[in-house]
Copies of this chain bind each other. A is one copy, B any other.
């Protein structure tokens, strides 16, 4: 029996190279691994928890995200791609789980604490936002997910999910829910072109998978290097230099990257030359994505999502039948 992987993205905009190194590359590997069956969820209900008044953007964002998936090589025949809101049983399961987690516990969740500090809810935290880890536990467990790819900052989410699983199974004397383990991406977090923060759409410091040749060139040109490296002949710093971070992440020849680093440290390698090399690397990678992307039709996306959601619903319903039987709310089953 294959282990199920459950992962996904919030449809809040196009995906960028940070997503590519952080999660998409792993998904490509996992999709080819016969030990696993991969489910990629577009978490529109979760996106609404802090974007409830921008829901008009949500459909086009979903289409962009799927376009990104297909352009990098996610294969809907191998990976089930579906929309969270279309699996309505997730809401039902969330209702059962809401009784098993205290408000105090949610308020202590380290991931939520950090996110609350970043967002501008002030004292008006939407209940849906505070409760989203519970919703996330339902997302994972309804598909009997056993492996969940996450960043290390999201480990508290996995812990919360497993606590709910233990509690539910104990209270309702069942073993219908499975615990999951985190799969931490082997690739480091990608810096934004500003060198100050990780790549992020909202900080406007990311290179998108769908960027044009001109966009990419311009962003590479703006990339933060070593501000004290003014003369080509002077030694330059590699650490914190975004161009090197991107070369490490995307240049196909590790040996060549090492040589460039040595040369840069010694002096004699100009930023312009270096950026031209990176530009060439990124253009080669992204032009493949762009080509595939251009071929994806809206109808194809719709049918992938509909088929994926259909499959996801079938699995979710199987779990829910066990959940309702355990709680005792399956009244009309004799």
Q: Which residues of A contact B (CB under 8 A)?
A: 44-45, 48-49, 52-53, 55-56, 58-59, 62, 83, 85-86, 88-89, 91-92, 94-96, 98-106, 121, 123-131, 134-135, 171-172, 302, 305-306, 309, 324, 327-329, 331-332
Partner of A329, one of B44, B89, B104: B44
Beta-carbon nearest neighbor of A52 in chain B: B99
State the CA gap A259–B102 with chains docked (Å). Answer: 55
State the CA gap A62–B172 with chains docked (Å). Answer: 19
Which chain B residues border A59 with CB–CB below 8 Å? 328, 331
State the CA gap A100–B59 with chains docked (Å). Answer: 20
A–B Cβ pairs within 8 angstroms, 12 of them: A48-B99, A53-B171, A55-B172, A59-B331, A85-B329, A88-B91, A91-B94, A95-B128, A99-B127, A102-B121, A103-B125, A305-B331
Beta-carbon nearest neighbor of A301 in chain B: B331
Nearest-neighbour CB distance to chain B for A160, whole angstroms, equals: 12
User: Do A103 and B88 have beta carbons less than 8 Å apart?
Assistant: no
User: Do A83 and B331 have beta carbons less than 8 Å apart?
Assistant: yes
User: Do A328 and B100 have beta carbons less than 8 Å apart?
Assistant: no
User: Do B104 and A126 have beta carbons less than 8 Å apart?
Assistant: no
Interface SS of chain A: helix
Which chain B residues border A305 with CB–CB below 8 Å? 331-332
User: Do B127 and A101 have beta carbons less than 8 Å apart?
Assistant: yes
Beta-carbon nearest neighbor of A50 in chain B: B99
Extra contacts besides A98-B128, A99-B128, A101-B126 (8): CB < 8 Å: A45-B329, A48-B99, A49-B99, A53-B171, A88-B88, A91-B92, A127-B130, A305-B331
Beta-carbon nearest neighbor of A172 in chain B: B55
User: Do B126 and A329 have beta carbons less than 8 Å apart?
Assistant: no
A55 and B135 in contact, given A102-B125, A124-B104, A126-B102 (Cβ under 8 angstroms): no
Which chain B residues border A105 with CB–CB below 8 Å? 124
User: Do B332 and A52 have beta carbons less than 8 Å apart?
Assistant: no
State the CA gap A305–B333 with chains docked (Å). Answer: 13
A306 and B329 in contact, given A91-B92, A104-B124 (Cβ under 8 angstroms): no
Nearest-neighbour CB distance to chain B for A59, whole angstroms, equals: 6
Q: Which 3 A-B pairs have the closest CB atoms?
A: A98-B128, A99-B128, A52-B99
Nearest-neighbour CB distance to chain B for A208, whole angstroms, equals: 23
User: Do A86 and B332 have beta carbons less than 8 Å apart?
Assistant: yes
State the CA gap A96–B56 with chains docked (Å). Answer: 14
Nearest-neighbour CB distance to chain B for A131, whole angstroms, equals: 6
Nearest-neighbour CB distance to chain B for A109, whole angstroms, equals: 12
